[in-house]
Amino acid sequence: MTIKFMKNAKIWLVTGASQGLGLSLVKKLLESGHKVAATTRNIKSIENEVGPRSAFFLPLAVDVTSQAEVHQAVNQVVAHFGTIDVLVNNAGYGQTGAVAELTDKEIRQVFDVNFFSQINFIREVMPILKEKNSGHIFNIGSIGGYTGEFPGLGIYSATKFAISGMTEALSVEGKAFGVKVTLVYPGGFRTNFFEPTSIKNPVKPLEDYSTVHTAQAQMQSHSGSQEGDPDKFSDVLIGVSEMKNPPVHLFLGTDAYEIAHEKAKKVQEELQKFKSLSISTGFEVTE
């Protein structure tokens, strides 16, 4: 792969980089001359796809759920590149199953990878960005982090909702230090998300939720034909990282756009419907 020399190359740290959106982003970044540290569980895989470690590219095997490994990884990135400019919290996977079907262990596991890992990286990278009074954090959420309407993905949605709430607060907390924060809500993108190699199914499915399983299977049957192009996702992120006033909330995909609008409308309607109840809860104010 030819690498352009870029005057203002930024140093990016991308998690979950061995496939899907993460891999596409790493490749696009390197193609446009940026420097990239990429975390993965499988170093060989990413080296096959991208190439070996170089002055521009640092692949790291990291268990993102381990605070200690994340700490070490960030140190290695700084040792290699001198600093970090952009963090992309992308690592995550899909977990299917009705809310009541998943065990406590399965629930904690998907929160571990999808949510707590983001905090691990933020804890390590924020001080670096704050010190420079600059930098950008992209937390990759999901349209499922704005609506929980997707059948059999409720717990996955919960992890993405958590990212949404956390990132809203982070964006305000970072503002005081010149750190930009963007919450990305991708719709369906053509990755391995629904493939057996990536997605996890309940270890103890319950017969009673067969309608959920059917709806889920229907959704999964579209794997490989999702409308979203990972390369265009990457182009957008790179473009947004150059903006003076980037969005805080960034939905990606026509499906995400439409679904977000619908959800907002639904909530607005319910707000109206129960308005008189909602505003009736104050203590009587005595003159």
Residues in Cβ contact with 39 at an 8 Å cutoff, skipping those fewer than 6 apart: 13, 14, 15, 16, 17, 60, 61, 62, 64, 73, 91
Our CA dihedral for 153, 156, 157, 162, rounded to 10 degrees, sits at 170
Which uninterrupted H or E stretch holds 89? Answer: strand 86-89
Residue of 51, 109, 205, 257 that binds another protein (CB under 8 A): 257
274 near another protein (CB under 8 A): yes
Rounded to an integer, what distance in angstroms lies between the CA atom of residue 252 and that of residue 154?
Answer: 20
Smallest distance, Å, CB 47 to another protein? 27
185 flagged as catalytic: no
**Other beta carbons less than 10 A from residue 32's beta carbon:** 14
Rounded to an integer, what distance in angstroms lies between the CA atom of residue 134 and that of residue 128?
Answer: 9
- Pick 197 or 281: Cβ nearer another protein: 281
Written as six digits, the tokens of 41 are 């569980």
- Pick 39 or 226: Cβ nearer another protein: 226
Which uninterrupted H or E stretch holds 16? Answer: none
Q: Which of 156, 185, 209, 257 is catalytic?
A: 156
Residue of 22, 94, 202, 228 that binds another protein (CB under 8 A): 228
Residues 1 to 60 in contact with another protein, rule: CB under 8 A = none
- Pick 4 or 227: Cβ nearer another protein: 227
126 near another protein (CB under 8 A): yes
Residues 84 to 123 in contact with another protein, rule: CB under 8 A = 98-100, 102, 104, 107-108, 111, 115-116, 119-120, 122-123
Q: Which amino acid is at 23?
A: L
Among the listed ranges 11-19, 74-82, 86-94, 223-231, the one in contact with another protein (CB under 8 A) is 223-231
For residues 26 and 36, the answer to whether their CB atoms sit within 8 Å is: yes
193 near another protein (CB under 8 A): no
- Pick 2 or 280: Cβ nearer another protein: 280
Task: Please give the size of the binding site for another protein, defined by CB under 8 A.
Answer: 89
